């Protein structure tokens, strides 16, 4: 293969993990090149208010925060490139990355911050209200606050849904939990927390037919998949917690990952199983998935990459 360019550090992905890695790498004279990915800015571009990122007393919108992070990374000479990576070759010692026009670049160190994508039900009404900022969300911790004292529904029966339902129960008047089978997938401990919350009503064997509302969510039409009986829930917010998919398919021939695709890092570091390849953010995090934790691991990845380059005598 013909290599067009060589860099000390290539960062793949442009969410809070990628930009934080870029800020640290650039300040360490690693001249990082960032390849933004299909959704520049990552999942926060789908968020309205971000009220839980330290340092913004009045809150900030996701897109504005990502623009600020981009400016900060560029202030320290990060080269931000639009585009996405189609293939990698981590056979080493120099790592190779192919971008969408077919060109290959090489890098002494690679920081992966490709994130994860929330899964959605795929209903037209759900996606329309999500895109309009009309009360459909895949993150209760991010958006639950806006439904203080109101009635909401959450779909899913795993640990995330159970955890988010109990989180919402503390803020909201009533939480309907829509579960498609007659049992939870969540651990017993998480189920008990749901059962103990007096304002959570679990609706088993049920699926969402439609999220109701023109501009804002006003309800959800649900159907019992055993009796086929339909009913309507009056709600102001509709949360989806049916799992995430890490964006790691292009790494599967090279990097160790769990059965869902979350990359495995050496505990306490950002190091993957390949020397010089580091991971940060949601691509390796199925538990916390917050902008601040992604930023923290982005910093770790850049510091680990800097030490790696120093150990190889690359300056």
Q: Any idea which residues carry the catalytic annotation?
A: 139, 142-143
By CB under 6 A, the residues from 225 to 244 that bind ligand NDP are 242-243
Residue 101 makes CB contacts below 8 A (sequence gap 6+) with 83
- Which region holds residue 6: left if phi is over 0, alpha if psi is between -120 and 50, else beta? beta
Q: Is residue 221 part of the contact set for ligand NDP (CB under 6 A)?
A: no
Residues 285-304 touching ligand NDP, rule: CB under 6 A, are 286-287
Q: Which residue is nearest to ligand NDP (CB)?
A: 158
Structural contact between residues 154 and 161, judged by C-beta atoms closer than 8 angstroms: yes
282 lies in the binding site for ligand NDP (CB under 6 A): no
CB of 10 to ligand NDP, least distance (A): 29
Structure tokens at 91: 């056979």
Q: Least separation, in Å, of the C-beta of 166 and ligand NDP?
A: 11
Query: How many CA atoms does the CB half-sphere of 267 hold within 13 Å?
Result: 0
Give the per-residue contact string, 106-135, with ligand NDP (x = CB under 6 A; - = no): ---------------x--------------
Residue 14 interacts with ligand NDP (CB under 6 A): yes or no: no
Alpha-carbon span 155 to 180, nearest angstrom: 8
Q: Determine contact, residues 85/250, Cβ cutoff 8 Å.
A: yes
Query: Site residues for ligand NDP, window 146-205 (CB under 6 A)?
Result: 155-161, 163, 180-181, 185
Take residue 92 and report the two structure tokens written for it.
């080493």
Task: Quote the least distance from Cβ 163 to ligand NDP, whole Å.
Answer: 5
Q: How far is the CB of 247 from ligand NDP (least distance, A)?
A: 15
Bridge partners (DSSP) listed for residue 167: none
Candidates 89, 109, 43; CA nearest to 301 is 109
**Footprint of ligand NDP (CB under 6 A):** 121, 155-161, 163, 180-181, 185, 242-243, 286-287
């Amino acid at each position: 293969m013909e290599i067009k360019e060589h860099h000390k550090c290539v960062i793949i992905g442009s969410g809070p993990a990628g930009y934080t890695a870029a800020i640290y790498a650039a300040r360490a004279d690693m001249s990082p090149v960032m390849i933004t990915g299909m959704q520049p800015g990552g999942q926060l571009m789908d968020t309205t208010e971000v009220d839980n990122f330290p340092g913004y007393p009045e809150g900030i919108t996701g897109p504005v925060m990502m623009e600020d992070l981009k400016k900060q990374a560029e202030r320290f000479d990060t080269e931000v490139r639009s585009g996405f990576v189609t293939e990698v070759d981590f056979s080493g010692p120099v790592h190779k990355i192919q971008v969408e026009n077919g060109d290959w670049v090489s890098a002494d160190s690679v920081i992966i911050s490709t994130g994860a994508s929330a899964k959605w039900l795929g209903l037209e009404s759900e996606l329309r209200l999500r895109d309009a900022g009309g009360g459909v969300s895949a993150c209760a911790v991010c958006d639950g606050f806006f439904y203080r004292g109101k009635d909401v529904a959450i779909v899913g029966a795993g640990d995330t849904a159970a955890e988010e339902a109990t989180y919402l129960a503390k803020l909201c008047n009533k939480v309907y939990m829509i579960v498609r089978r007659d049992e939870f997938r969540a651990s017993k401990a998480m189920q008990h927390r749901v059962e103990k919350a007096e304002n959570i009503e679990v609706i088993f064997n049920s699926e969402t037919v439609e999220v109701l509302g023109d501009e804002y969510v006003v309800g959800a039409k649900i159907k019992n998949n055993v009796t086929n009986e339909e009913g309507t829930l009056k709600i102001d917010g509709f949360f989806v917690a049916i799992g995430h998919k890490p964006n790691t398919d292009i790494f599967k021939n090279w990097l160790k990952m769990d059965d869902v695709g979350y990359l495995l890092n050496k505990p306490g570091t950002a190091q993957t199983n390949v020397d010089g390849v580091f991971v940060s953010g949601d691509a390796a995090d199925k538990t916390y998935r917050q902008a601040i934790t992604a930023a923290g691991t982005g910093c770790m990845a850049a510091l680990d990459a800097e030490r790696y380059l120093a150990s190889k005598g690359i300056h």
